[in-house]
Amino acid sequence: TQTVSQSDAHVTVFEGDSVELRCNYSYGGSIYLSWYIQHHGRGLQFLLKYYSGNPVVQGVNGFEAEFSKSDSSFHLRKASVHWSDSAVYFCAVRTGGYKVVFGSGTRLLVSP
């Protein structure tokens, strides 16, 4: 059974700051990791994914994430946040089947 943990429920930063949102997973086999963003009142939107290869993957709007097998982590980062990045961010794990497990989400607030 795969699990996904997002340890920070809330993160607050100022516009222009860098930010890292943490995601840890538990699963022994091959997995497909992804991040999604949910703005208020909207559905989730895909940001980026990792399956194999370069452990640092680039996504939309300047987001990147780094996979670490040793730490069982897939943290999301952005070098300089904008107020429009305020949203809830979800980490997700998919195994070889069709089941997808989402983390509990991290609410990012970017203050002007």
Partner 1 sequence: ETAVFQTPNYHVTQVGNEVSFNCKQTLGHDTMYWYKQDSKKLLKIMFSYNNKQLIVNETVPRRFSPQSSDKAHLNLRIKSVEPEDSAVYLCASSDYEQYFGPGTRLTVL
Size of the site for partner 1 (CB under 8 A): 25
Minimum distance from residue 83 beta carbon to partner 1 (Å)? 20
Pick one of 67, 90, 108, 110: the residue that binds partner 1 (CB under 8 A).
Answer: 90
Can you tell me the distance from the alpha carbon of 111 to that of 28, in angstroms, rounded to the nearest whole number? 39
24 binds partner 1 (CB under 8 A): no
Minimum distance from residue 65 beta carbon to partner 1 (Å)? 14
Q: Which of 7, 16, 22, 20 is nearest to 111 (CA)?
A: 16
Can you tell me the distance from the alpha carbon of 39 to that of 86, in angstroms, rounded to the nearest whole number? 7
Q: For residues 91 and 110, which CB has a smaller minimum distance to partner 1 in the complex?
A: 91
Return the structure tokens found at 52. 């194999």
